[in-house]
Amino acid sequence: HQIFDTLVAFDAKGEMQPFLLESFKPNDDFTVWTFKLRPNVKLSNGKPANADVVVRNQNYLKNSPVTGPAFKYSGVTAITKADDLSWTVTLAKKTTDYPLTYATQLGVVADPDWLESNDGLAPIGTGPFVLDKWEIGNKLTVRKNPDYWRKDANGTQMPYLDSVEFR
């Protein structure tokens, strides 16, 4: 969660809420969900986080031998761009809680070029921090993402810290 934000997150009451999303809405029979991103969100490399990025991420994950089974279990039949910030997910069966999927690893937004490169050592996401140094088995240092989208309740730009070191 330092380098990647999810599309959906849980609030203090444990209820799912849009996070990177502005909204999500099902059709009448819960077989098609429409998702809309917040405007002006950027990846940590400065590229826009838009529907093209999310659809490409989702289709990559859907076809992955690691994450693909979760899409199959959910009955995902199509992931389609609707407009610059929106996409739809079509399901083979009624699924009233599909947005929960986006609170997991399947809901992170990453640079699709990085994701498809399988370079786990140089992650590019939408989170509050970017990778600075990683000494595997010793420490990982992240620094403030200057393009981070979130502000606190007082309008102060987040994150508050310039860097964090994990050991």
Contact 21, 38 (CB under 8 A): yes
pLDDT at 2 over 90: yes
pLDDT at 118 over 90: no
Spatial distance between the Cα atoms of 52 and 82, rounded to a whole number of angstroms: 10
pLDDT tens digit sequence for 43-99: 999 999 999 999 999 999 999 999 999 999 999 999 999 999 999 999 999 999 999
Q: Which residues pair with 31 in a beta bridge?
A: none
Burial of 89 (0-12, 13-18, 19+ CB in 10 A): buried
Please provide the size of the chain in residues: 167
Contact 141, 59 (CB under 8 A): no
Q: What is the pLDDT of residue 35?
A: 98
pTM given for the model: 0.93
